[in-house]
Amino acid sequence: MRVLSALLACLAIAMGLPVYAEGDDFSQREPTPVAQFTLTDQFGEPFGLERLKGQWSFVVLGFTSCPDVCPMTLL
């Protein structure tokens, strides 16, 4: 068990070294403009870009209506 713990610790250190070597040189890019769009929300109402203006947004696209079985790609 000690050998396994030591191997896992070494693996974690080895995987973290490239991240550590990068340093704190993180710079945020300018926001990318999004083209106008219209989607349908979970209530069947139109959802567009105007509801997202002025705030940060994270959009996940998934299946809501499938003819057979919906793919489970978001799970």
pLDDT of res. 22? 56
Query: Taking every pair of C-alpha atoms in the chain, what is the biggest distance, in angstroms?
Result: 58
With a CB cutoff of 8 Å and minimum separation 6, the contacts of 39 are 46, 47, 48
pLDDT of res. 71? 76
10 vs 51: CA distance, rounded Å: 48
Residue numbers in the chain where pLDDT is lower than 50: none
pLDDT of res. 45? 92
What's the whole-model pTM score?
Answer: 0.37
pLDDT of res. 30? 83
